């Protein structure tokens, strides 16, 4: 025990004061390591002590095994609440593995998903905190799947929010992980859920059906949502801390090639992820302009946007391809704006939504075009906010039934809600 204590003291000296300790050892060698200096440690002991120091040094320098955490979900109608949950999960470890529940499992446990597996995978993979994705994960953590996570994927902990996740039979979906003591909990993000977003779309669709007022709607638009006219008003309370948590916190370098792309980015979907990926590949820094609610409403119809500015901004900030956003970007890209942000290239996708009644408005990209720094990007996917929302309207009854069931569990959650520290 005494020798171990001595070795620990020696190691601390080497680690924290290498130069001082080196001088002491050299002095000791020159003095012959007499017993009067080192309490009986003779010259013959010196090689063994050096070996001992080398052993501890090697052990201390060995790379620490990364802590791998797992979180799963349906991630249907991906929103900033999902993103924040994954951000918190990543903070509990070094590497985050995300399981995306299969379409079949969602149908049997919750009802039809709005987004198919391919689109949900694109959204989850596009988040800056995600390291790996497991497709077609089971809805419940079975014993077999838990062993697969621990043995094959080297998972240390399984993560879930503080809101209960119950199976159709009423049992806890994470009971096995809790019994194995490999479970950790994060704080639920208040103010949004996929159920809430579906509710906004369905409520406004019903309102429009009653009012027969489609004068300012986009072509083919039979749903869309304006929180001001909907019973499903956003409950999100934005804070500066949340924006900081989502931000990269870094600006472009002095010689960085800054690419700028703008839009509404409403109901953030796989099409958004893909166009942002393409835009980021064209430079060193991607700056994204998020249009105000008023601008979106003026150019897309009075029932837009479905998500308000801060909600849309966080969804974009969470994307791994985005470096910075302008919250409330102007409609027209001006010369002053290009100079202020040192923009090298302005891009715009081929798939976009706009009110046909406003076709005669001034070109918002006239200035970058005149400067020769504008480029049209071929959108990899033809998904739009309109097409996503129309899927919900097309299955109106199924989603109404699902939302009614979910609303009951949400009501119980908020009735028993208590403050949870963290986040």
Query: In this predicted model, what pLDDT tens digit does every residue of 364-406 receive, in sequence order?
Result: 999 999 999 999 999 999 999 999 999 988 887 777 777 666 6
Query: Taking 50 as the threshold, does the pLDDT of residue 419 lie above it?
Result: yes
d(CA 348, CA 363): 12
104 pLDDT tier (thresholds 50, 70, 90): very high
CA distance 283 to 305: 29
Q: Is 158 helix (H, G, I), strand (E, B) or coil?
A: strand
DSSP 26: H
Between CA 120 and CA 129 the distance in angstroms is 16
pLDDT at 8 over 80: no
Chain-centre distance for alpha carbon 397: 31
3-class DSSP state of 416:
coil
Q: In this predicted structure, what is the pLDDT of residue 281?
A: 98
297-334 residues labelled b (16+ CB within 10 A) or e (exposed): bbbbbbbbbbbbbbbbbbbbbbbbbbbbbbbebebebe
Q: Does 280 or 191 have the greater pLDDT score?
A: 280
**The predicted structure's pLDDT at residue 397:** 78
Structure confidence at residue 72 (pLDDT): 96
Q: What is the pLDDT of residues 272-283, one digit of tens each?
A: 999 999 999 999
Q: Over 70: is that where the pLDDT of 208 sits?
A: no
The answer to whether residue 216 scores a pLDDT higher than 80 is no
Upstream peptide bond of 296 is cis (omega within 30 degrees of 0): no
Q: Is 214 exposed, middle or buried (0-12, 13-18, 19+ CB in 10 A)?
A: middle
- Residue 306 near residue 225, CB atoms below 8 Å: yes
**Model pLDDT for residues 62-101, shown as the tens digit of each residue:** 678 999 999 999 999 999 999 999 999 999 999 999 999 9
């Amino acid at each position: 025990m005494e020798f171990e204590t001595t070795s620990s003291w020696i190691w601390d000296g080497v680690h924290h004061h290498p130069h001082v300790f080196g001088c002491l050892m050299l002095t000791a060698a020159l003095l012959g390591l007499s017993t009067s200096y080192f309490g009986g440690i003779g010259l013959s002991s010196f090689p063994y002590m050096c070996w001992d120091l080398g052993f501890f040094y090697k052990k201390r320098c060995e790379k620490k095994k990364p802590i791998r955490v797992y979180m799963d979900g349906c991630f249907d109608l991906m929103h900033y609440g999902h993103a924040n949950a994954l951000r918190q999960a990543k903070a509990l470890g070094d590497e985050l593995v995300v399981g995306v529940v299969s379409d079949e499992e969602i149908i049997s446990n919750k009802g039809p998903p709005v987004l198919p597996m391919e689109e949900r995978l694109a959204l989850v993979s596009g988040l800056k905190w995600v390291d790996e994705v497991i497709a077609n994960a089971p809805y419940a953590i079975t014993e077999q799947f838990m062993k697969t996570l621990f043995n094959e994927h080297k998972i240390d902990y399984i993560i879930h929010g503080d809101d209960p996740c119950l199976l159709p039979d009423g049992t806890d979906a994470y009971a096995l992980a809790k019994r194995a003591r490999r479970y950790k909990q994060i704080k639920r993000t208040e103010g949004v859920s996929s159920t809430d977003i579906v509710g906004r779309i369905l409520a406004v669709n019903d309102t429009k059906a009653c009012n027969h007022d489609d004068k300012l709607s986009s072509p083919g638009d039979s749903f869309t949502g304006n929180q001001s006219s909907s019973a499903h008003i956003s409950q999100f309370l934005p804070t500066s801390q949340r924006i900081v948590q989502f931000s990269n916190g870094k600006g472009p370098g002095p010689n960085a090639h800054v690419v700028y792309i703008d839009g509404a980015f409403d109901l953030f979907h796989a099409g958004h992820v893909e166009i942002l990926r393409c835009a980021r590949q064209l430079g060193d820094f991607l700056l994204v302009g998020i249009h105000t609610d008023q601008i979106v409403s003026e150019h897309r119809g009075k029932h837009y946007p479905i998500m308000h500015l801060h909600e849309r901004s966080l969804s974009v900030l969470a994307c791994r391809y985005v470096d910075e956003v302008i919250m409330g970007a102007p409609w027209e890209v001006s010369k002053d704006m290009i100079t202020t942000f040192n923009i090298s290239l302005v891009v715009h996708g081929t798939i976009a939504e706009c009110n046909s009644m406003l076709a005669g408005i001034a070109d918002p990209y006239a200035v970058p075009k005149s400067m020769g720094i504008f480029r049209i990007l071929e959108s990899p996917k033809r998904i739009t906010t309109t097409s996503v929302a129309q899927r919900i309207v097309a299955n109106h009854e199924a989603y109404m039934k699902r939302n009614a069931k979910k609303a009951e569990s949400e009501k119980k959650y908020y009735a028993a809600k208590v403050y949870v520290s963290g986040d």
